[in-house]
Amino acid sequence: MSAEIKSHLLELLTRALASVAPNEPSSLLTLERTKQAQFGDYSCPVAMQIARQIRRNPRDLAQALVAALPASDWLESAEVAGPGFINLRMRPAAKQHAVKAVLGQGTRYGRTDRGQEQSVLVEFVSANPTGPLHVGHGRQAALGDSLAAVLETQGHRVTREFYYNDAGAQINNLALSVQARAREQLGRPAEFPADGYHGEYIREIALKFIASKSADCEDIEAIRAIAVRELRAEQDLDLKAFGVIFDNYYLESSLYGDGRVDAAVAAMQSASMTYESGGALWLKTTEYGDDKDRVMRKSDGSYTYFVPDVAYHITKWERGFARAINIQGSDHHSTITRVRAGLQACGQGIPKGYPDYLLHKMVTVMRGGEEVKISKRAGAYVTLRDLIDEVGRDATRFFLVSRKADSEFIFDVDLAKSKSEENPVYYVQYAHARICSVLDQWRTQFPAELASQGTGVEDAFFEKQDLSSLTSARELSLLQYLGAYPEMLEKAADELAPHQVAFYLRELAAEFHSYYNAERFLVSEPVVRLARLALAAAVRRILKNGLALLGVSAPRQM
């Protein structure tokens, strides 16, 4: 519901509660949208919550609260249902107010300062620089960037961060793979590593290395440097093509260079949370809910992969991020307990649930009814660039954020390219373009109505119109959706669920298309015409705002 309507209803209920149960705090009052229209628009359960402590029957208490509600121009009726729910039905005038709120607030509609500018770090993609970004990275990019945008609507200061895993065994295998290909190109004996990378991009990097001034196939460090540099550059270009921009990049290698990994291990040792066994150093993760203790430092002196993760997250806390959210593949589930245990063992006062995680399942790409598994350049997987090149940025971003993160997702290339209502991004964008077309026709057929207002001021013009004629079932349904936008954003932020924005846009578009097919906009009666156009303009604004949160364009023509 819009903030104005929610504030109004809570004020009515607060006054009723003060009259009937003056000792009960108004903070107990909550409102929920009813799931069925027959029960009104909103429901309040306060009578059932306080009935026991004030020793009254909940239904009788609810009746008393209803009787004590002050008169309101926006509240049509209040009824008691079930064991004591107070169901509230709004007058059309209250729902019509959503149009004025949308048009008046524009891009600010649905935004709030309730987050009090909490500093939040959202880490996502964080791909090893060992190859092009695959579609799983693409899903992370779409989820992470959209979640960050949603969190910003709630007043949070969000930093988007990419953590480069540029150290460890995988980088060694990358360097050895490029070295083997370089030797092959020079006609020298080459033994390809068992866990090496086989894509065509490895050969491309090898050729670039050979062409460099300091090419020495035995200089593995030089090969490692150019391979990481080339792949980081390629990943950056892919992300730019995807419309994702990061505020900060953090290198795993810097944690070793700055001594942060050793410092984190020392902190855990000082807290007596480690022990040695079998030549290895162990962390007592069982004291933090793990099923068994975990090795931190192997007998050969190298650290297991979760140890630098602990050091990295300590930097997040030290940099002032009271909240950190990691978006990673579901295969990282086992690391959550270990990282959190390590942070607790360091004794720096980091909260137990730090960081938050949003885990996503991988993506299956289908074309022509068959799974697509191979990329020409990557050799073993479909790349993000493959999807962008084939279906475009808009469809790729919308599709990859359109399902709950922990659900399996099939990316149907044929559907993403189709121009039909089954294609959700096309359907939503078409609703926006349809409204633009209607408003263009209006400007042509009724030029005098906007002539005195100048150009680019349609929203301000429509905000002033009489909306009292918007009373049909379809119009009230659309108005309800407009009013629901702010609470949808709030819920999406609280639940780390940016897919809810995509769901909402799809439903709003469906409501508008139904309205468009059932009603005429450019009718002869000026009051009705301008009211319907105002409603359409408000829908257009919400569609554009919501698509922007997903990183998707809102075209004027299709």
Least confident of 18-27, 155-164, 275-284: 18-27
Is residue 406 packed enough to be buried (19+ CB in 10 Å), middle (13-18) or exposed (0-12)?
exposed
Among candidate residues 62, 90, 118, the one where a domain is terminated: 90
Q: Which CATH number do you get for residue 457?
A: 1.10.730.10
The predicted pLDDT at position 86 comes to: 94
Judge whether 500 lies within some domain.
yes
Strand partners, 32: 43
Collapsing DSSP states into helix, strand and coil, what is residue 421?
coil
Query: Are 74 and 179 contained in the same domain?
Result: no
Judge whether 445 lies within some domain.
yes
Residue 189: pLDDT over 50: yes
Among candidate residues 241, 258, 284, the one where a domain is terminated: 241
Judge whether 50 lies within some domain.
yes
Q: Mean pLDDT over residues 263-289, rounded?
A: 94
pTM of the entire predicted model: 0.90
State the average pLDDT for the chain.
92
Q: What is the pLDDT of residues 500-536, one digit of tens each?
A: 999 999 999 999 999 999 999 999 999 999 999 999 9
Percent of the chain with pLDDT over 90: 79
Query: Are 542 and 447 contained in the same domain?
Result: yes
Judge whether 319 lies within some domain.
no
CA distances from 449 to 385, 399, 454, 458, 523 (A): 47, 40, 10, 10, 14
CA distances from 369 to 134, 364, 385, 411, 540 (A): 20, 12, 21, 11, 35
Judge whether 263 lies within some domain.
no
Question: Domain of 201?
Answer: 169-241
Residues 81/87, Cβ–Cβ less than 8 Å: yes
The predicted pLDDT at position 515 comes to: 98
The predicted pLDDT at position 113 comes to: 86
Judge whether 155 lies within some domain.
no
The predicted pLDDT at position 378 comes to: 67
Q: Strand 248-251 vs strand 157-164: parallel, antiparallel, or unpaired? A: parallel
The radius of gyration of the chain's CA atoms, rounded to the nearest angstrom, is: 29
Q: What is the pLDDT of residues 74-107, one digit of tens each?
A: 999 999 999 999 999 989 999 999 999 999 999 9
Q: Mean pLDDT over residues 159-166, rounded?
A: 94
**Position 455 confidence tier, pLDDT thresholds 50, 70, 90:** very low
Judge whether 499 lies within some domain.
yes
Query: Are 531 and 429 contained in the same domain?
Result: yes
The predicted pLDDT at position 381 comes to: 84
Query: Are 428 and 545 contained in the same domain?
Result: yes
Query: Are 431 and 541 contained in the same domain?
Result: yes
Question: Six-digit token pair at 99?
Answer: 């149009």
Residue 215: pLDDT over 80: no
How many domains in the chain? Answer: 3
Q: What is the pLDDT of residues 304-323, one digit of tens each?
A: 989 999 999 999 999 999 99
Residues 122/159, Cβ–Cβ less than 8 Å: yes
Query: Are 71 and 173 contained in the same domain?
Result: no
Four-CA torsion 353, 328, 120, 550, nearest 10 degrees? -140
Q: What is the pLDDT of residues 362-418, one digit of tens each?
A: 899 999 999 988 666 666 788 999 999 999 999 999 999 999 999 989 999 999 999
Among candidate residues 64, 90, 116, the one where a domain is terminated: 90
Query: Are 430 and 529 contained in the same domain?
Result: yes
Q: What is the pLDDT of residues 69-79, one digit of tens each?
A: 999 989 999 99
Residue 193: pLDDT over 60: yes
Cα(110)–Cα(98) distance, integer angstroms:
11
Judge whether 338 lies within some domain.
no
Q: Mean pLDDT over residues 474-501, rounded?
A: 95
Residues 424/398, Cβ–Cβ less than 8 Å: yes
Four-CA torsion 106, 110, 112, 118, nearest 10 degrees? -110
Residue with tokens 């303009």, as numbered in its chain: 537
Residue 40: pLDDT over 80: yes
